[in-house]
Amino acid sequence: HAIVYDLEAGFVRSIDGCSDLTGIDDNIPHEEYASVTVKHPAGILEFPTAYIAHLYEPSRNNVVVALGKGNSLFISTQNSDGAGGYYAVWTVENYLVKSLFVLHDF
């Protein structure tokens, strides 16, 4: 990763060109999503990188999966480095990732 750290201010400005850093409170992250996979009747869905990039400090203990109508699935997780918390909610329809909603600064 290309990390831009502001020595004078004492925080991370960007990682890989992204300054919207979710899940960290100005620190260098320790963990990130490497992959998210869902096994379903038609096979296995591997989440595209765009839906997991720049989401840091994931928690495997705060994951909720909810079934919607038809082939809809909602996956939510609460993640944090202890200070910079956020919720991430993915919507999966017909075995394709349709959206990601991130709520932070709460």
Over range 27-31, report the average pLDDT: 82
pLDDT of residue 38 exceeding 80, the answer is yes
pLDDT of 106 reads 66
DSSP 56: B
Which residue has tokens 């991370």?
12
Residue 66 has pLDDT above 90, yes or no: yes
Q: How far is it, in rounded angstroms, from Cα 53 to Cα 21?
A: 10
Q: What is the pLDDT of the chain when averaged over all its residues? A: 89
What pLDDT is recorded for position 52?
Answer: 95
- Sorted by where each begins, the domain ranges of the chain are 3-104
The residue behind tokens 């909602």 is 74
Min mean pLDDT across 17-31, 47-61, 73-87 is at 17-31
